[in-house]
């Protein structure tokens, strides 16, 4: 039987970086929250793959471009690498319901399902961390349990629950 990976799926705005309340329009507005790096490092040490799952509907609205999103993600990947943290993948949906429907946009689970298939992830050993119900609904749709963080909350406060469950997984 093939060994399956466990993962932490992370929403971006409000979980990884400060959510200003609307959109993060530019790299100059992307500010990583204080406990994120230490928490990601600890989760990686516990054997979790780290994967970003984010809606970027501002692209569909014409507020910013794929290039801006990629610039922000490249910056984040470099900041993580400087701390010895590997982000295994980033999935984002450029769609917005005002401009058409997409199965990839959260609360749809397609981004998480794609990540599970691509990286051999066991959904039952994984978590979706988000600051909105749609993040948790997306996780549930892929068989991944969710955990809600307040917008711009302290990511490290979730470690005890994740690590306790990691030692004794009972999710079904």
Confirm whether 124 is domain-assigned: yes
Average pLDDT (12-38) is: 96
Question: What whole-number distance in Å separates Cα of residue 34 and Cα of residue 74?
Answer: 19
pLDDT value of position 65: 97
Confirm whether 22 is domain-assigned: yes
Where residue 83 sits, what CATH number does that domain have?
3.40.50.1000
Confirm whether 89 is domain-assigned: yes
Confirm whether 5 is domain-assigned: no
Per-residue pLDDT at 53 exceeds 80: yes
Range of the domain at 90: 12-167
Helix (H) or strand (E) holding 148: strand 145-148
Per-residue pLDDT at 114 exceeds 70: yes
Is 13 known to be catalytic?
Answer: yes
pLDDT, one tens digit per residue, over 118-170 is 999 999 999 999 999 999 999 999 999 999 999 999 999 999 999 998 665 54
Confirm whether 4 is domain-assigned: no
pLDDT value of position 101: 83
Total domains, the chain: 1
Antiparallel, parallel or unpaired: β 127-130 and 48-55: unpaired
pLDDT, greater one: 171 or 29: 29
Confirm whether 33 is domain-assigned: yes
pLDDT, greater one: 99 or 116: 116
pLDDT, one tens digit per residue, over 137-146 is 999 999 999 9
DSSP string covering 43-87, please? Answer: HHHTTEEEEEEEE-TTTTTTSS-HHHHHHHHHHHHHHHHHTT---
Confirm whether 2 is domain-assigned: no
Confirm whether 72 is domain-assigned: yes
Is 74 known to be catalytic?
Answer: no
pLDDT value of position 171: 45
Per-residue pLDDT at 100 exceeds 90: no
């Amino acid at each position: 039987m093939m060994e399956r990976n466990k993962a932490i799926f992370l929403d971006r705005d409000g979980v990884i970086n400060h959510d200003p309340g609307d959109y993060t329009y530019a790299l100059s507005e992307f500010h990583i929250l204080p406990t994120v790096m230490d928490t990601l490092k600890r989760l990686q040490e516990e054997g979790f793959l780290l994967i970003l799952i984010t809606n970027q509907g501002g692209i569909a609205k014409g507020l910013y471009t794929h290039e801006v999103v990629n610039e922000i993600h490249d910056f984040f990947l470099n900041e993580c690498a400087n701390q010895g943290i590997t982000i295994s993948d980033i999935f984002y949906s450029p769609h917005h319901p005002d401009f058409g429907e997409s199965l990839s946009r959260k609360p749809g689970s397609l981004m998480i399902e794609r990540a599970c298939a691509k990286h051999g992830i066991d959904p039952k050993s994984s978590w979706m961390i988000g600051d909105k119900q749609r993040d948790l609904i997306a996780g549930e749709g892929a068989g991944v349990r969710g955990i809600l963080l307040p917008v711009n909350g302290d990511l490290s406060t979730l470690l005890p629950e994740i690590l306790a469950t990691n030692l004794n997984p009972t999710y079904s």
